[in-house]
Amino acid sequence: MFVEQLYTSCLSEAAYYIDSEGEAAIIDPLRDIEEYLHLAEKRNAKIKYIFETHFHADFVSGHLDLAAETGATIIYGPGTITNLPVHISNDGEKFSLGKLQIEVLHTPGHTLESSCYLLKDEQGKDYSIFTGDTLFVGDVGRPDLAQKANEITKEDLAGMLYDSLQTKIMPLANDIILYPGHGAGSSCGKNLGTETFSTLGEQKIGNYALQQPDKASFIKAVTEGLQAPPAYFPINALINKEGYKNINTVLDKGLHALTIEEFKFKMKEDKTFILDTRISTVFTEGFIPNSISIGLEGRFAEWAGNLLPFDQSILLVTEPGKEKESIIRLARVGYEKFEGYLAGGYTAWVEAGEKYDMIVDVEADELAMDIPFDPNLVVIDVRKETEYADGHVSVAINIPLNDLIDPASMANLEDTHNMYVHCAGGYRSVIALSLLKRQGFNNLRNVIGGFQQIKLLGDKIEIEKSEPIVTE
């Protein structure tokens, strides 16, 4: 028996590879399937099954492409509704994999079709459980992603989740290894732990959701304090349910090198935008006007899904050699409309004498010195409401980065304002500044190092706390 977790940090997503006697299974694959194919080849195994724990909302699965490449059967849990060529399993159904068995445990709650997969070893002993978004390390899956057509409330789903955990998970042995679908940073739960795997025994003791004395307490605990889910979640869930283009088709279109003249021509087309994936510290030094910055160094795909339209074509500006990575990571969250990339990148643009723009970087102590003397100064904190509430510059206004795609969020801003923008460490603030630039604001400064550096100034700048405003 061989089990390997394949963890993708920028999405906080865990896929799994299992094999025995030359037969392999993949659980919750990402859209780019090369890693699974290479691992199976290395292990001299043939992929027989693709198990999906549910219709994922935070990424596009690789189930269709992987099945087409290998002939493997796609397995979903009971209650699955789709026209895709999948096997809809029964609760308790077992699948043989070499000398192993994988048992389906239907665990509705995160979604209606959510299921866990219990792996039994060569002796038939329960070895590990792959819980998807039903149970995480330190948390459970959020129950507010209900299919609205069925008029199911988050309280309804939370109640189902309680029953699933109590009847299907809690009775299992403590030494069973817990392999969840996500780790810390995922928006699929409220407060996931930093570890990417655990044991059921550890979770029975340390997971707040499993400590609740009754169903009503559980429902209250898992539904209160939920932030609004990312805007792209329903789009990705629908893609996973209805299908998508083959990843190679997407790459063929996106990996088209454009000359500067071709790039400029496409810039003028309606429903086309420029995405610059270079690191944020490089972007501020110079960029093509109206570009949106989302650097590959951060939670790239997640922020793209939150901020970028799915119905517009993408022109890419990347660090040379990063074109394919940019496209694959965007495709993971459902982007397929690529017009190509600028050959030679930003350097070629500047060397050709084309117009460019810049964002001024300032140190935190410069912000502290300017606050008392500049009546037009506005400090914009683009962190989440909860981060802002936990401590912020006293004169700062909070416009979370997610909100900046709505022009109404900038209604009280004027171009005469001298705007100092910061986040926690500097990544999100550059994204925000690129969005503000596109809205016509020019008096902009990026506070290097963000709030992490601001806090180090001590008495030089006033910090205060406030009560968070939580969006239900």
**Long-range contacts: 435-439, Cβ < 8 Å, 24+?**
435/292, 435/307, 435/404, 435/405, 436/404, 436/410, 437/289, 437/290, 437/357, 437/359, 438/290, 438/292, 439/407, 439/410
Res 55: pLDDT: 97
- Under a CB-based contact definition with an 8 Å cutoff, are residues 50 and 28 in contact? no
Q: pLDDT digit string (tens) for 319-373?
A: 999 999 999 999 999 999 999 999 999 999 999 999 999 999 999 999 999 999 9
Banded model confidence at residue 227, pLDDT cuts 50, 70, 90: confident
Res 148: pLDDT: 55
From the list 443, 413, 450, the residue with the least C-alpha distance to 428 is 450
Task: Report the percentage of the chain scoring pLDDT > 90.
Answer: 91
How many residues comprise the chain? 472
Res 365: pLDDT: 95
Q: Indicate the pTM of the whole model.
A: 0.93
Res 410: pLDDT: 84
- pLDDT of 5 above 50: yes
- Under a CB-based contact definition with an 8 Å cutoff, are residues 460 and 390 in contact? no
- Under a CB-based contact definition with an 8 Å cutoff, are residues 40 and 77 in contact? no
Res 412: pLDDT: 86
- List phi, psi (to 5°) of 452: -60, -40
In this structure, what DSSP letter does residue 270 have? T
Q: What is the mean pLDDT of residues 229-237?
A: 93
- List phi, psi (to 5°) of 465: -115, 160
- Under a CB-based contact definition with an 8 Å cutoff, are residues 317 and 291 in contact? yes
Q: Tell me which of 409 and 146 has the higher pLDDT.
A: 409
Please report, for residues 73, 74, 112, 139, 290, the alpha-carbon distance to residue 81 in angstroms, rounded to integers and kept in the order given. Answer: 16, 14, 10, 27, 42
- List phi, psi (to 5°) of 434: -65, -35
**Long-range contacts: 402-411, Cβ < 8 Å, 24+?**
402/230, 402/231, 402/306, 402/307, 404/307, 404/432, 404/435, 404/436, 405/306, 405/307, 405/435, 407/439, 410/436, 410/439, 410/441
Q: How many CA atoms lie within 13 A of 335 on its CB side?
A: 29
Q: Which two three-digit tokens encode residue 468? A: 């968070």
Q: pLDDT digit string (tens) for 331-342?
A: 999 999 999 999
- pLDDT of 146 above 80: no
Res 193: pLDDT: 94
Q: What is the mean pLDDT of residues 401-407?
A: 89
- pLDDT of 382 above 60: yes
Q: Which two three-digit tokens encode residue 12? A: 């906080």
- pLDDT of 471 above 60: no
- Under a CB-based contact definition with an 8 Å cutoff, are residues 164 and 108 in contact? yes
380 CB-near residues (< 8 Å, 6+ apart) = 396, 397, 399, 413, 419, 420, 421, 422, 432
The Cα 416–Cα 414 span in angstroms is: 5
- pLDDT of 303 above 50: yes
Where are the alpha helices (H) located in 43-153, listed in sequence order?
Answer: 63-70
Banded model confidence at residue 472, pLDDT cuts 50, 70, 90: very low
The lowest-confidence range among 130-139, 194-203, 310-319, 401-410 is 401-410
Which residues partner with 421 through β-bridges?
380, 446
Res 284: pLDDT: 97
- pLDDT of 147 above 80: no
- Under a CB-based contact definition with an 8 Å cutoff, are residues 410 and 428 in contact? no
Helix (H) or strand (E) holding 20: strand 13-20
What average pLDDT is seen over the chain?
95
Res 407: pLDDT: 81
Domains of the chain: 2-235 (3.60.15.10), 245-351 (3.40.250.10), 360-464 (3.40.250.10)
- β-strands 23-27, 46-51 pairing: parallel
From the list 229, 119, 112, the residue with the least C-alpha distance to 172 is 119
